[in-house]
């Protein structure tokens, strides 16, 4: 019998994209799945329209907008199933996407999360900004994807079609094990939106697990469909949460030399924003910095929580990161394609189950 899956979709607004998401979702070729819609305080009538069109949907209504992180956590808390898919409400799925992800996840006990290939909904020949064929991270905390580096989205020509280990799976579409999700503490709701999945994937790897991309599974995503890239909050959360992720997850001995370099890179980003006339980004960078400075007690608490989970040292985790600044490679040296910085195919490796790994704090 196939493993039952709960698909969790947090939703705030946008009826047209959302209804199209559900239409394709209910054509999924998988015999046992439920859709849990988390109403994040929607007021545009889209939740009622969805329930009317698809009465089998389970709706969880929240009193306020808890963001992507809080919405997903509410859905996972409600679900009692072991396999959990997180899906954005501005996606369209290929019929075979879920079975391919389930098969990949269950073939290796060391895999905590799998991600499909994400293509852009507005130009289906290109990779999607939010995830490409799996996310990577440089040692200074700048994220990029196979098929997407900063503003460059490559055309999908099959160049990243090998199954590979990645550093983070996009929250736009992923499949995970509920037991591990809960053990890791779920998504950190302090993030509210943007990069919370990077933090979760980092913690899961510190626990001894791995993250894998499954390019044969296909999902289309409208990057920016919920929040425009020009929006101040998007810029702010991206800068704030990226630095917060480093502060949470690195051991102190590495943070002491990585953080100063990251701060220099933030200043360089502000200088670039001045040249581009992007004054909202300048404000976002400085506001993000002040947030992290003035939330020191929260940060120390988060670090203690991560320490309790850790069985892998930074030395082991950093082998999975890009050894340098991907921002400098992109903006100073003109490397626009992931294959110029990383090999197109990374071998897939089995690993020891975490119960056999020696704890290394």
Phi, psi of 181 (to 5 degrees): -55, -45
Amino acid 359: pLDDT: 37
For 27, the token pair is: 């054509």
Instruction: Name which of 228, 252, 250 is nearest 238 in CA terms.
Output: 228
CA dist., res. 113 & res. 168, Å (int): 9
User: Per-residue pLDDT tens for 215-263?
Assistant: 999 999 998 655 566 789 989 999 999 999 999 999 999 999 999 999 9
Number of H helices, E strands in the chain: 13, 13
Amino acid 1: pLDDT: 78
Q: Any residues with CB less than 8 A from the CB of 175 and at least 6 apart, and which?
A: 5, 83, 84, 85, 98, 101, 102, 105, 113, 114, 115
Whether the CA torsion 50, 52, 58, 62 is positive or negative: it is positive
Distance between alpha carbon 73 and the CA centroid of its chain, in Å? 14
For 238, the token pair is: 């991206």
Q: Can you give the pTM of this predicted structure?
A: 0.93
CA dist., res. 70 & res. 64, Å (int): 10
The secondary structure of 66-100 as a DSSP string is: -HHHHHHHHHHHH---SEEEEE-TTEEE-TTHHHH
**Residues of the chain under the 50 pLDDT cut:** 356-361
Q: Any residues with CB less than 8 A from the CB of 205 and at least 6 apart, and which?
A: 112, 167, 211, 312, 317, 320
* b/e code 275-294 from CB counts within 10 Å (16+ = b): eeebebbbebbeebbebbee
Amino acid 163: pLDDT: 78
Amino acid 342: pLDDT: 81
> E strand or H helix at 116, and its extent?
strand 111-120
Residue pair 199/86 in contact (Cβ under 8 Å)? The answer is no
For 210, the token pair is: 């791995």
Residue pair 210/356 in contact (Cβ under 8 Å)? The answer is no
CA dist., res. 53 & res. 57, Å (int): 9
Residue pair 169/205 in contact (Cβ under 8 Å)? The answer is no
For 226, the token pair is: 């919920």
């Amino acid at each position: 019998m196939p493993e039952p899956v709960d698909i969790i979709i947090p939703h705030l607004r946008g009826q047209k994209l959302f209804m199209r998401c559900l239409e394709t979702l209910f054509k999924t070729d998988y015999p046992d799945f439920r859709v849990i819609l988390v109403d994040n305080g929607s007021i545009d009538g889209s939740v009622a329209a969805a329930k009317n069109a698809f009465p089998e949907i389970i709706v969880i209504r929240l009193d306020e907008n808890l963001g992507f992180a809080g919405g997903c956590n509410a859905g996972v808390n409600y679900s009692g199933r072991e396999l959990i898919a997180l899906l954005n409400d501005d996606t369209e799925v290929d019929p075979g996407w879920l079975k391919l992800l389930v098969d990949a996840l269950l073939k290796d006990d060391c895999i905590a999360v799998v991600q499909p290939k994400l293509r852009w909904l507005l130009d289906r020949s290109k990779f999607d900004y939010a995830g490409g064929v799996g996310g990577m991270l440089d040692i200074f905390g700048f994220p990029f994807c196979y098929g997407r580096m900063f503003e460059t989205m490559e055309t999908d020509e099959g160049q990243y079609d090998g199954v590979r280990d990645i550093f983070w799976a996009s929250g736009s579409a992923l499949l995970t094990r509920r037991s591990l999700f809960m053990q890791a503490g779920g998504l950190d709701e302090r993030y509210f939106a943007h990069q919370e999945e990077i933090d979760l994937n980092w913690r899961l790897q510190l626990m001894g697990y791995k993250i894998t991309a499954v390019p044969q599974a296909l999902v289309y995503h409208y990057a920016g469909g919920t929040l425009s890239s020009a929006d101040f909050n998007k810029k702010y959360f991206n800068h704030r949460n990226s630095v917060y992720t480093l502060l949470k997850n690195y051991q102190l001995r590495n943070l002491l030399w990585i953080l100063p370099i990251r701060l220099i890179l933030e200043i360089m980003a502000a200088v670039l924003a001045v040249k581009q006339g992007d004054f909202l980004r300048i404000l976002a960078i400085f506001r993000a910095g002040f947030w992290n400075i003035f939330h020191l007690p929260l940060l120390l608490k988060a670090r203690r929580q991560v320490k309790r989970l850790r069985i892998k040292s930074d030395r082991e985790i950093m082998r999975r990161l890009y050894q340098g600044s991907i921002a400098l490679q992109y903006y100073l040296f003109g490397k626009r394609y992931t294959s110029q910085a990383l090999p197109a195919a990374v071998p897939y490796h089995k690993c020891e189950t975490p119960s056999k790994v020696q704890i290394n704090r």
